[in-house]
Amino acid sequence: MTEENKVNDQKAGDVKLAGQPKKIQIDKIKVLKNPVLSFKGRLGTTVFEQPEYDLAEIGRIEDVESYVRRAFRYKDGLMFKEGWQLTGKNNQTIKYIKRRFQQMDAATGIAHELLFRGIGSDLVRFSNSFLVRVRNEKASGGKVRTLPNGKRVEPTAGYFAVPPTTIEIMRDDSGKVLRYRQRLPYGEYKEFPADSVLHFYIDRKKGFMIGTPILIPVKDDIRALRRIEENIELLLYQHLFPLYHYRVGTEDQPAREYSDGYNEIDIVKAEIELMPSEGAIVTPERHEIKAIGAQGRAIQAEGYLKHFKQRVFAGLGTSGVDFGDGETTNRSTAETMSRNMIDDVKSIQREFEIFINEYIIKELLLESTFSDPLDDKNIVKLVFNEIDLDAQIKIENHANNLFTGYGITHTEYRNMLGREPLTKKEEEDIYWTKYEQPKLLIQAVDEPWSEAAKAVAKSENTIIEEPDRKEAEAKELSLAKTKQAPASKDKPGPAKTKKTSGQRASTAADKPSNQHGEKLSPEKRKSSITFSDMVGKNNRITSIYDDLLNDTLLLIKNGGFSVHWLSALSIATKNLMKNKFLSTLRVLFRKGYRDVTVDFNYNLVENAFRELENRVDNIIHRMFMKLVQRVKTEVNDHDSSVEIKEKIINIFDGLRFRSRFIYNSEIRRAYNYGVFVGLKSIGKTQARIIAADDACEECQSKEGAISLEHASIDDVPYFHPNCNCRLVSE
């Protein structure tokens, strides 16, 4: 190779690699040392440190504090209420991870579901969780591998949970963990290498060893609340039994003294002491008995009690509703308060997923025999199912609206639902493929005069009545002979009448072209369509549109109307209108196709009809978008029901002509487009637009021949309201 070629190859390589990172395997990247100092005491790098927070105190508080206990229990249950699942693009890697979990269950004697629940429980209580990894090649289905630092390690055989309250940590000056130690209260301990322990945490401050437990800022509020409750308890005991005051005598007539040395007070005192508990006492008018209690002089502690209780609830991420205290809470407020706890639990779930996916599942993939286990197509992730079902329903409805409104692709729609895109095999198992598509194929009968087609037409309330096939062929042959036979003297031909240019062109187009061996369909089949009849009582779009108006007015009358309700109902009405309308258009389209050829090409007809279907779908979608937008703009929340009713009626009336125009135009276009496709299928290159006798200037200007090779559906009549132009063979 010459030097010039080497230089050219080098330049080509530079262009190819421009802007691209150098290829490197993720599992071969060495871990960088953290150059940042951490909050570490002057204990050296050979001393185990106690965590920044006393986790054992949290356990003691939970044992004696009912609010804390119930809050932790609620979050534990909510976190795993809907379960979790393993997701990925490769089913083989998902099956591999599930198999490895089963192997670890057998090796450790602990179900991985219970292990995960234990991790979640520790995160809720302590914001920290510790697992010890045990490696054993004989008890594992993974392979031995070499780390980037050259160390050869055996595959993981299982994980064992460590109580967070017993952990001590040894770190270097940068905060990197060197070793872990588990120390029990009675002095026994055991050390573990740093790479054998997995530390899960949430809310860990930079430079700290462990995460900050949620209970740390709440402890003082709990103590204050309990002190207030204790004082209230003492106040209750003090005034539970009233103190009786017995007054003897008045200022004018004081208590009497007797000659034997006793006075009136001593006598009353003796009588009270000797009186039985169920007895009564009778006094003259100079004696008075009063019961002495708190009598409003004690401090009113209810407000303080409520204040500190709310502080405890807020600190725990809960509300009084979660504990059954909802006396002054309506349903909306209760849902909002409960959703705060749901959001708190979701945050914990996200942290849980990150640690499981990064430090457990990723390592199991590295121990597999896949060629590139960390490639995007082989990645497996643990994902929690949605725990807020109301929010999930709203997200799914929003995704459905975007998808049916042409705002997103099907792949994006699946991603919004939290699901992987469907594979070709999965597409065969969905409702559309198994039920809807076969039903439409059954209805799409090739012969429109068959009994099945008649049944479908009757059920769909169509207005097309096809003659029997044999009868149609016989009449077609008879008509052809009549046209070809010359008139004789004995039997004169039909009387001649003067025809317009449009009628002559139409008659010429209907004549069979025997020189090419082709026959056109009989004239009776062409005249079986009466468009004027179809615009009135058979207008399906207007009838469905009016049904939507009636439902809206009924809801206004009952006081339940809202713009969101109308928007949701419009989506359902739009789909219903589209399906009903397309069934009529399909019949007209196929009739136009068969009026020019008897050969039926299923794929050609379906592909061509799909263009018409997309056109109609866009038109109806824009119509309903305009309807909802006008309601949002013109109807206000402070309007009365009478004002809302008037505005709704005006809006619907103003847009009703649009529905009539769509129906009137598209049924004509569907038939003419069927003629268009039929002519192309038999090899025709040109067609002719025939205007009506009373056609306007626009229709007269469009009358004439058009090229089938360069024309599209937009060039097919219907051109304007009340247009009666037709497309015929040239």
More confident residue, 421 or 496: 421
Give pLDDT, residue 86: 93
How many structural domains compose the chain?
3
pLDDT band at 54 (very low <50, low <70, confident <90, very high): very high
What is the rounded average pLDDT of the residues 492-498?
A: 46
What is the CA angle 474-478-481, rounded to 5?
145
DSSP, residue by residue, 174-233: T--EEEEEEE-TTS-EEEEEGGGEEEEESSPPTT-SSPPPTTGGGHHHHHHHHHHHHHHH
Domain shared by 117 and 206, yes or no: yes
**Is the residue at 232 inside a domain?**
no
Residue range 474-492, pLDDT digits in tens:
544 454 445 444 444 444 4
- As given in the structure block, the two tokens for residue 199 are 């530390």
Domain shared by 607 and 688, yes or no: yes
Domain shared by 535 and 607, yes or no: yes
Pick from 469-473, 585-589, 660-664, 710-714 the range whose average pLDDT is largest.
585-589
344-353, 551-560, 639-648: least confidently modelled range: 551-560
Domain shared by 40 and 160, yes or no: yes
What is the rounded average pLDDT of the residues 99-114?
A: 94
141-145, 504-508, 621-625: least confidently modelled range: 504-508
Could you tell me the residue range of the domain that residue 516 belongs to?
A: 460-479+501-729
More confident residue, 69 or 332: 69
What is the CA angle 405-410-412, rounded to 5?
95
Give pLDDT, residue 27: 64
pLDDT band at 40 (very low <50, low <70, confident <90, very high): low
CA 588 – CA 583 distance, rounded (Å):
9
More confident residue, 477 or 207: 207
User: Which three-class secondary structure state does DSSP give residue 134?
Assistant: strand
pLDDT band at 453 (very low <50, low <70, confident <90, very high): very low
Spatial contact of 272 and 246, defined as CB atoms under 8 Å apart: yes
Domain shared by 106 and 202, yes or no: yes
50-59, 311-320, 517-526: least confidently modelled range: 517-526
The pLDDT of residue 16 is above 60: no
**Is the residue at 314 inside a domain?**
no
Spatial contact of 496 and 620, defined as CB atoms under 8 Å apart: no
**Is the residue at 652 inside a domain?**
yes
Q: CB burial class (10 A; 0-12, 13-18, 19+) of residue 225?
A: buried
Average pLDDT, whole number, for the chain? 77
Question: Ramachandran region of residue 203, left (φ > 0), alpha (ψ -120 to 50) or beta?
Answer: left
% of residues, the chain, pLDDT over 90: 20
Smallest Cα–Cα separation from 563: which of 612, 630, 484, 650? 630
**Is the residue at 327 inside a domain?**
no
pLDDT band at 360 (very low <50, low <70, confident <90, very high): very high
The pLDDT of residue 526 is above 90: no
Does the pTM exceed 0.75?
no
414-418, 626-630, 696-700: least confidently modelled range: 696-700
**Is the residue at 15 inside a domain?**
no
Domain shared by 403 and 360, yes or no: no
Residue range 149-170, pLDDT digits in tens:
788 999 999 999 999 999 999 9
The pLDDT of residue 171 is above 80: yes
**Is the residue at 292 inside a domain?**
no
Give pLDDT, residue 329: 53
Secondary structure of 561-601 as H, E, C letters: CCHHHHHHHHHHHHHHHHHHHHHHHHHHHHHHHHCCCCCCC
Phi, psi torsion values for 458, nearest 5 degrees: -65, -40
**Is the residue at 280 inside a domain?**
no
Does an H or E element contain 627, and which? helix 602-634
- As given in the structure block, the two tokens for residue 579 are 């399906």
**Is the residue at 443 inside a domain?**
no
Domain shared by 400 and 468, yes or no: no
- As given in the structure block, the two tokens for residue 582 are 């397309």
pLDDT band at 183 (very low <50, low <70, confident <90, very high): very high
Domain shared by 416 and 522, yes or no: no
The pLDDT of residue 396 is above 70: yes
